Amino acid sequence: MDFKLLKILACPICKDDLKLKEDKLICYNCRKYFNIENDMPIMLIKEAKDIGEIKEEKG
């Protein structure tokens, strides 16, 4: 993912900063994450997942 793009992206739910981790953009403020597919972040609110699901996916 382009780091210039990461600097301008904000969480669509709470407008806080996002952190890149593996293939996900994480918002620690509202505890949601957004997947990145083919270098494109999926920033739809209905596609947001709870941070707790990250561990379940790897589990």
Distance CA 57, CA 10 (A): 24
pLDDT at 43: 95
Q: Which residue has the tokens 């972040």?
A: 41
CB 1 within 8 A of CB 20: yes
Nearest to 30 by CA among 8, 15, 41: 15
Give the pLDDT confidence score for residue 56 in this predicted structure. Answer: 59
Give residue 29's pLDDT.
97
Give the residue, 32 or 57, on which the prediction is more confident.
32
**Residue 50 pLDDT more than 70?**
yes
> Domain ranges in the chain?
3-58
For 6-49, write each residue's pLDDT tens digit: 889 999 999 999 999 999 999 999 999 999 999 899 999 999 99
Q: 3-58 maps to which CATH number?
A: 2.20.25.10
For the chain, give the longest Cα–Cα distance: 32
Residue 49 has a pLDDT of 96
Whether the CB-CB separation of 36 and 23 falls below 8 Å is answered with yes
